[in-house]
Amino acid sequence: MKFSFRWYGSSDPIPLEYIRQIPNMTGIVSAIYSVPVGELWPEKDIETLKQEIEANGMRFEVVESVPVHEDIKLGKLTRTKYIENYKENIRRLAKAGVTTICYNFMPVFDWTRTDLNFINKDGSSSLTLDLKKIDSLDPLSGDFSLPGWDESYSKDELSALFTAYQSVTPDELWDNLGYFLNEIIPVAEEVGINMAIHPDDPPYSIFGLPRIITDDAAFQRLFKLNDSPANGVTFCTGSLGARNDNDIYTMLDDYLKQGRVHFMHTRNILLHEDNSFEETAHMSKYGSVDMVKVLAILKRHNYNGYLRPDHGRMIWGENGRPGYGLYDRALGASYLNGIWEALHY
Ligand code: DNO
């Protein structure tokens, strides 16, 4: 299994020189952030990123994310151009040595929380999602945004997107995903890239927008849409674990059996009865995810793909990018490494 760490490029306050000091950190997960969604990623930018990472003794093999343009998700006629660009980005990344691309198919918004600075009893802070609060949030108000969201939309564009999605049923969103996959997966296969869809976070519809990558039935449907192993998943324990009816251990075991897991996001959450949750330290005892069980399943399948510690809390006075500070993610990585090593006996 290959341990990796997400890094936001030169705008990330955490230098690669620090990341390389985390024991057993062999890979960097990153992306080209300067290009608008749907456009081509310049080869020279990909090459510069790769060189920067390799100069620090780590590998650049996983991209998170190549975002999918909304016209593709909406099934608009204009999707052709964006799908062709997506294919070309896959080819360019493969040429640079990338083997795995993480992406998602969530309409408009990526991961969503109601509080980015929930203060825990020990003084650390976490990201949380309180379902009682979510309905009172208005993403169209213009004064509410999250670090995982595409901030480039104007208020009018956002409102037009909401209107466009009003008429898109979940089945239509599935058709649009199927169309996209059947276009891009042959290219990914040809150049040796594994596509790894990220589950919706949280794994249910929010703000009235459809969300489909949420549970086991969804993954089985996804695998049937295109049966290539290159049509795989990013198994995110925190996202999938945010539903009381998801048995993440059985799901993981099954998707590994089917050869579809290419990337692991391992983070812990404390899940409440109504599916609200707090993000916690990675260690099993703090949350609802049994990390030893997760890694034992990976071990049983001789998983040799990528894994990254996912969101961390803010600890030791760090004031970083929400979810993506250095300290707690580094602690998470060491904890996961310890479990992995112990599983060899
Ligand atoms: C959250 C991340 C997601 C993920 C995208 C993949 O922290 O795991 O934003 O990168 O959903 O496209």
Instruction: Give the C-alpha separation, 78 to 5, whole Å.
Output: 35
Atom of ligand 1 lying closest to residue 67 CA: 12
More confident residue, 60 or 137: 60
**What mean pLDDT comes out for the span 317-344?**
97
Confidence of residue 323 (pLDDT cuts 50, 70, 90): very high
Assess whether the C-beta atom of 235 lies below 6 angstroms from ligand 1: no
Assess whether the C-beta atom of 263 lies below 6 angstroms from ligand 1: no
Instruction: Give the C-alpha separation, 98 to 91, whole Å.
Output: 9
**Two structure tokens written together for 65:** 């994310």
Question: In this structure, are residues 298 and 264 in contact, taking their beta carbons and an 8 Å threshold?
Answer: yes
**Which string of DSSP letters, residue by residue, matches 205-249?**
-BTTB-----SHHHHHHHHHH---TTEEEEEEHHHHTTSTT--HH
Instruction: Give the C-alpha separation, 25 to 1, whole Å.
Output: 11
**What mean pLDDT comes out for the span 102-131?**
95
Asked whether the predicted pLDDT for residue 170 surpasses 80, the reply is yes
Residue nearest to atom 2 of ligand 1 (CA): 111
**What mean pLDDT comes out for the span 151-175?**
92
Q: What percent of the chain is predicted at pLDDT more than 90?
A: 92
pLDDT given for residue 225 in this prediction: 97
**What mean pLDDT comes out for the span 38-57?**
98
Q: What separation in Å is there between the alpha carbon of 169 and the centre of ligand 1?
A: 23
The string of pLDDT tens digits covering residues 308-320 is 999 999 999 999 9
Instruction: Give the C-alpha separation, 127 to 340, whole Å.
Output: 26
pLDDT given for residue 61 in this prediction: 98
pLDDT given for residue 265 in this prediction: 98
Assess whether the C-beta atom of 150 lies below 6 angstroms from ligand 1: no
The string of pLDDT tens digits covering residues 263-296 is 999 999 999 999 999 999 999 999 999 999 999 9
Confidence of residue 321 (pLDDT cuts 50, 70, 90): very high
* Domain count of the fold of the chain: 1
**What mean pLDDT comes out for the span 4-20?**
97
pLDDT given for residue 151 in this prediction: 82
Asked whether the predicted pLDDT for residue 143 surpasses 80, the reply is no
Residue 215's CATH number:
3.20.20.150
Q: What separation in Å is there between the alpha carbon of 308 and the centre of ligand 1?
A: 12
Enzyme catalytic residues: 198, 236, 265, 310-311, 324
Assess whether the C-beta atom of 103 lies below 6 angstroms from ligand 1: yes
Q: What separation in Å is there between the alpha carbon of 23 and the centre of ligand 1?
A: 24
pLDDT given for residue 75 in this prediction: 97
Domain interval for residue 135: 2-343
pLDDT given for residue 97 in this prediction: 98
Confidence of residue 193 (pLDDT cuts 50, 70, 90): very high
Q: What separation in Å is there between the alpha carbon of 111 and the centre of ligand 1?
A: 7
Assess whether the C-beta atom of 65 lies below 6 angstroms from ligand 1: yes
Residues 6+ apart with CB under 8 A from 54: 60
Mean pLDDT score of the chain: 96
